[in-house]
Amino acid sequence: LLARIAPDTWLYNSPMQRVYIGVVVCEVLVIAALWAFGRAFA
Amino acid sequence: MHIIDWIVVAAYLTWIIWTGIRMSHSTKELDGYLLAKRSLPWWAVGLSVMATQLSAITLVSATGQGYADGMRFVQIYFGLPLAMIILSVTLVPFFYRARVYTAYEYLEQRFDVKTRTLASVFFLLSRGLSCGVVVAAPSVILAIVLGWNLTLTILAIGIPTAIYTIVGGVQAVTWTDVKQMFIIVGGLLAAVVLLIGGLPDGIGMMGALQVAGTAGRLTSVDFTFDMTQTYTFWSGLLGGLFLSLSYFGCDQSQVQRYLTARSEDEGRGSLLMSAYFKIPLQALVLLTGVLMFVFYLFNAPPMLFNPKHDERIQQSPRAAEYKSLEAEFNAAFELRREASTTLATASGAEREAARTAFESADDTLSGIRSRAATLVGEITGDETYRGRTGDTPAPDVNYVFPTFVTTYLPVGIVGLVIAAIFAAAMSSIAAELNSLATSSVIDVYKRLLRPNETDAHYLVASRFFTGFWGLFACVVAMFAAGLGSLIEVVNRFGSFFYGSLLGVFVLALAFRNVNGHGAFAGLIGGIGTVAIFASHPATRDVSFLWHNPLGMIAVVVFGLIVSALTGGRAKEALR
């Protein structure tokens, strides 16, 4: 199913793989920062 | 508005129209006019994607939302980065390899012409109407706050946008979007700097944030699982994921942006730019609103920001009652200012007492504002005054930022921020006009009405349809401006449609045995299911974000059942 719906997946496209991982890492960091910012001034 | 501000706005309009018209040299063929010959760099397309999504109403409403309800709104974007990754590995390669002009063309390659036509007609209807609302919403606000004529404001936004889009096509849309993004961010940063500079002597940034935090304005992440709440982590992550998948994957106004990129990877890069920057950008917009809240703790705000009914209240028999409330409000504001100053400078054990005093003073002020809103509702019969956003009357939210800009910002900066509001409106409208024209020509005119004409003929038709949709948007805007409920109907119609359209693309990509009959019936079934769900008394309180996964699942279920009953699929999925 994955091969059908994702013809060029991160599994075998290494330059994009790093970008996708970067997106996830950045999102987690941004959400954590927003949460900490709110907690610090609550 | 000062003459210098007028000059700034006029200079902006001239610059943008000139930029758009200059692009006409590379639009001599249909491929150049609609897809820029697939030649644009990822960063320009990425900025265009972000500018298209950031409409004027997002800019004005979201700052007001930050003022009234704090940073919670940012959670609606938590699903967006994940959606961009999913789209990059799924739909983007299919669209590129199919060499399509519109997302709906792919549906004919995979299913049949009726599914393609139905999807494109739904897109044309919902996007055509919403384009009118995108023109109307900022026009109404600017007309009321600046005292401009409403029709002229609508035309001042609509006509220049239509002109440069007709002349320059998608190249004009993209390159003006790039410049408009810089104006929007520049305008916001100027407002932030001046808001911070506007804090009274002796009140530091940390103390001000302490007060904002006490008022609940800095809480950005809420892990409560409640499907009736739109602004929670789970609604944003899951509901927002499906909303973003639908919007960026199936809405031609977005798909056309990344189809103009040089290559598949550059198309992906343009989407992933939003994945990185959308949440921080939206946080900046909301933080501007929070800083306005802080600013108005120390500087007197109007009791109600929306001046729409001022004249009527002054002339009503209850004018004295309103005036007495204003006196009460001013006294309560002085008490809250003192409490805010005490809290911002308190330390250690004093802080708890200062916090209690501030909360009490803030509640009193909000209570008076609520009574004033109820009074205005009773005098004018305006039902919207019953609603609340945070502790602020709902009709006030969109007026906080323009009121602050025109009241407190210096000459020149007012013009810059008004230009930023124009830029946000025009960037969204231009992309919508361009995509509406593309779908009209490619999916309807060329496919169904005049299939064998020359490239030059379709180019003329594309320019004609761009102008037609521009005119349509301005006419809808003039009606929508006077009918608040129409705006809600249009938005609701859009939310019925998005998840269902995503469902058709999921059927196309993930299920081999689905045929055209199944996809067609699934699309209708999905929209019907969401319409029933959204209006049924037992489920109508569920946040609209959840309509997207529901619509998608309903389409898949209907599509599979109808396909099984009608003999499965006939065509192979496109590779």
Cβ-nearest to A10 among B89, B97, B510: B89
Q: Which of B42, B43, B76, B85 to mutate to test the interface with A (most CBs of A within 10 A)?
A: B85
DSSP assignment of B530-552 equals HHHHHHSTTTTTS-GGGHHHHHH
Provide the shortest C-alpha distance from residue B90 to chain A (in Å).
4
pLDDT at B133: 86
Which residues fall within 8 angstroms of residue B68, CB to CB, at 6 or more apart?
B289, B293, B389, B390, B391, B392, B396, B397, B400
Q: Is B527 exposed, middle or buried (0-12, 13-18, 19+ CB in 10 A)?
A: buried
pLDDT tens digits, B360-395: 999 999 999 999 999 988 888 887 788 877 778 888
Cβ-nearest to B90 among A5, A20, A24: A5
Provide the shortest C-alpha distance from residue B575 to chain A (in Å).
8
pLDDT tens digits, B221-253: 989 888 888 788 998 899 889 889 998 999 999
Provide the shortest C-alpha distance from residue B487 to chain A (in Å).
32
Cβ-nearest to A30 among B88, B97, B280: B280
- CA distance linking residue B55 with residue B61, whole number of Å: 10
Smallest CA–CA distance from B205 into chain A, residue: A41
Question: Which token pair is B252?
Answer: 């031609």
Inter-chain residue contact A31 with B85, CB threshold 8 Å? no
pLDDT tens digits, B545-570: 888 899 999 999 999 999 999 887 65
Cβ-nearest to B81 among A9, A27, A34: A27
- Find the helix or strand (DSSP H, E) in which B393 lies: strand B392-393
> Chain B interface residues facing chain A, Cβ-Cβ under 8 Å?
71, 74, 78, 81-82, 84-85, 88-90, 93-94, 97, 209-210, 212-214, 218-221, 233, 264-265, 268-269, 272, 275-276, 279-280, 283, 509-510, 512, 573, 575
Query: Which chain B residues have a beta carbon less than 8 Å from that of A6?
Result: 89-90, 93
pLDDT over 90 percentage in chain B: 48
Smallest CA–CA distance from B236 into chain A, residue: A31
pLDDT tens digits, B181-218: 998 899 899 999 999 988 888 888 888 888 899 888 99
Q: Kindly provide the ipTM of the predicted complex, given to two decimals.
A: 0.86
pLDDT at B575: 40
Query: Which chain B residues have a beta carbon less than 8 Å from that of A36?
Result: none
Query: Which chain B residues have a beta carbon less than 8 Å from that of A7?
Result: 93-94, 97, 575
pLDDT tens digits, A23-41: 999 999 999 999 999 998 8
Question: Which token pair is B55?
Answer: 């409409």
